Amino acid sequence: MIISMRPHATKQEIEHVCERVREFGYKVHSIEGEERVVIGVVGVGDVTACLESLEATPGVESAMRISAPYKFVSREFKKEDSAIRVNGLEIGGDEFVVMAGPCSVESERQIMQTAEGVARAGAHMLRGGAFKPRTSPYDFQGLEREGLKLLRKAKEATGLGIITEVMSDRDVDLVAEYADCMQVGARNMQNFSLLKSLGGCGRPVLLKRGLSSTIKELLMSAEYVVAHGNSNVILCERGIRTFETATRNTCDIAAVPVLNELTHLPVILDPSHATGKRSLVPAISRAAVAVGANGLLLEVHPCPEKAVSDGAQSLTLEAFDDMMRSLKPYIELWKQSRAPAAAAAGVA
Ligand code: PEP
Ligand code: MN
């Protein structure tokens, strides 16, 4: 259920409405907009009785049910796009945000070289896995804490914010010490204990779509994080499993506009895992811009042939630089296409 308060509702009126709703057995979550306070109501209770009672409660302008099973993340709950602040950047705002770096943090030399290269080419954030979810237990599992320290060094040298994966609820505090944004990998999209603990981690979360997950399941997982206290969630399409073998995964490019209809959360695309082939990354990146993604997460390595993971889909620093140049006119159009929305929202 969603309750819109009148524009000039008083603090007492808002608090009273929250109290009433709690009496019906619900949890509340209020959002202060520019004009009015909107109160999200979730849980199990007597909806009809609650709605009736709210009609007669001072300060309430309207109250209605949210039909989607995901509540807080739905467009029904919040019509305007959410912009999420990460290390001074806004994801979901007026900038098309590029997060680039190696699949795995491998060594100081590798991460520093990559960080400097991607920063020079115009990336906004540095990615790199310190905890790696690998299909085989015999493959490189990540440098863990050592890797996180190297990411911090790279941030100090370049100013780039850090996005890195957290695989277990046990590691949330450790990763949150070093990361500006906590990545939940495709394999963990439905690790509900992890999602719950990310609700209290104090950092934005980037949630990747599971290998065989529907868009609805992705949104339900985002709802877990928000319902547990963290509304700073960014979604990432990274390709799904289909019968097609020409690419590592099948890039569900339609997921971006579908998500833009269903949720106010920012949506980015990972063309590296979506294709598995570096030659396809620039084309899919252009497609991401064209369909209205808010940014890209992609893999770059100074020497992909020596990469310990995902070398085949990693761009060299030179190829990344070329791609960033070739994306510029597309990003210009992207900015122009968003201008009316920005003007309507009162953004200069
Ligand atoms: C990654 O970003 O390196 C990664 C493991 O991605 P995914 O979880 O999408 O497979
Ligand atoms: Mn990878």
Q: What are phi and psi of 246, to 5 degrees?
A: -65, -25
The residue whose C-alpha atom lies closest to atom 10 belonging to ligand 1 is: 186
Q: For residue 183, which atom of ligand 1 is closest to its CA? A: 2
pLDDT exceeds cutoff 80 at 33: no
The residues lining ligand 1, judged by C-beta closer than 6 Å to any ligand atom, are 103, 129, 133, 185-187, 208, 238, 273
Among the bound ligands, the one closest to the CA of 301: 2
User: Given pLDDT bands bounded at 50, 70 and 90, which one contains residue 344?
Assistant: low
User: Pick the residue with more confidence: 334 or 34?
Assistant: 334
Q: Calculate the average pLDDT of the chain.
A: 95
Token reading at 232: 């700073």
Where do the domains of the chain lie? 2-64, 84-338
Spell out the CATH class of 2-64: alpha beta
User: Given pLDDT bands bounded at 50, 70 and 90, which one contains residue 261?
Assistant: very high
Residue 43: predicted pLDDT: 85
CATH of range 84-338; options 3.40.50.720, 3.40.50.150, 3.40.50.1820, 3.20.20.70 = 3.20.20.70
Q: For residue 309, which atom of ligand 1 is closest to its CA? A: 3
Residue 38: predicted pLDDT: 87
Among the bound ligands, the one closest to the CA of 309: 2
Q: What is the pLDDT of residues 177-208, one digit of tens each?
A: 999 999 999 999 999 999 999 999 999 999 99
CA dihedral defined by 6, 8, 11, 15, rounded to 10 degrees?
-10
Decide: pTM greater than 0.85: yes
The conformational region for residue 229 under phi > 0 = left, psi -120 to 50 = alpha, else beta, is: left
Q: Are 285 and 315 in contact (CB under 8 A)?
A: no
Query: How many A from CA of 290 to the centre of ligand 1?
Result: 23
User: Given pLDDT bands bounded at 50, 70 and 90, which one contains residue 343?
Assistant: low
The residue whose C-alpha atom lies closest to atom 9 belonging to ligand 1 is: 186
Query: How many A from CA of 94 to the centre of ligand 1?
Result: 26
Q: For residue 186, which atom of ligand 1 is closest to its CA? A: 8
pLDDT exceeds cutoff 70 at 347: no
Alpha-carbon distance 298 to 1, whole Å? 37
Token reading at 45: 């209770």
As a whole number, mean pLDDT of residues 34-53 equals 87
Residue 23, Cβ density class (10 Å: 0-12 exposed, 13-18 middle, ≥19 buried): exposed
Indicate the pairing of strand 89-91 with strand 27-32: unpaired
Indicate the pairing of strand 89-91 with strand 84-86: antiparallel
Alpha-carbon distance 254 to 49, whole Å? 40
Residue 346: predicted pLDDT: 55
Pick from 72-86, 155-169, 177-191: least confident: 72-86
